[in-house]
Amino acid sequence: MATNLQFIKSQSGTDVSTLSVTDCFNADYDVYAIYLTKIDTTQDNSSRIRLLDSGGSVISASEYDTANLRLRANAGFEELRYTGQTYFQYMISIRQQNYDGAGLMMYVFNPYDSGSYTFIQYQETSYSSNYLGYKSIGVHKSAETITGFQILNTAGDYQSVGFSVYGVK
């Protein structure tokens, strides 16, 4: 058997305020690796993440906890903690300039297991006012089957945004 990253799907959108990556988690894998493939925005913004339930609906209940370490090149680092939120906080911060781009790699653990919470960890790199990066962890505190995720903006639209999802085998 192959022991590797196994491609599941890519999904992208243009001129949207949210992008849902649907049906990317299944019973074949316990761990998933997700890469940001592109991102351009119309305003300075921070992106957040929500999960999709077994029916593909966005979960917007106050069930998300996140802890971020914000790394800055020009100032001291910041610890950010959130409990009982309606999304995972601070996935990406980006300013309104088409040429910046960003990078993100996120692991998702146990999303399809109906008896387990879903855990995430991610490391992000982007450029907003000065250089920013985030090292983050999160938990969705509801034991249920998760089939996908959604990225959403705090302001403006994504001119383009996309992800590729892999199973870790």
Partner 1 sequence: MSNQGIFDVNSIVDLKHHDQWSTLGQLELIETQTATSGSADIMTVNFESIQESKYNVHFLTFSEGQSNGYQYLSLRFGNDSTYTTSGYKYARQQMLNTTFAEDRSTSQSTIRIGSYVYRGENAYAYIYNIGDSSKYTFATSQMVGNAANYVGCASSFGSGVLPTASSFNNIQILRTNSVGWYGFKASLYGIRYS
Each residue 39-68 as x (binds partner 1 by CB under 8 A) or -, in order, gives ------------------------------
Of 51-59, 111-119, 120-128, 146-154, which part binds partner 1 (CB under 8 A)?
120-128
Binding of partner 1 at residue 96 (CB under 8 A)? Answer: no
Per the structure block, which two tokens stand in for 75?
């100032």
Torsion of CA 135, 115, 149, 60, to 10 degrees: -100
Of 33-41, 54-62, 106-114, 137-145, which part binds partner 1 (CB under 8 A)?
33-41
* Among 124, 138, 151, 152, interactor with partner 1 by CB under 8 A: 124
Q: Find, among 114, 95, 105, the residue nearest to 155 by Cα.
A: 95
Q: Are 62 and 83 in contact (CB under 8 A)?
A: no
Which residues of this chain interact with partner 1, rule CB under 8 A? 1-7, 10, 35-38, 69, 71-77, 98-103, 105, 123-127, 130-133, 135, 164, 166, 169
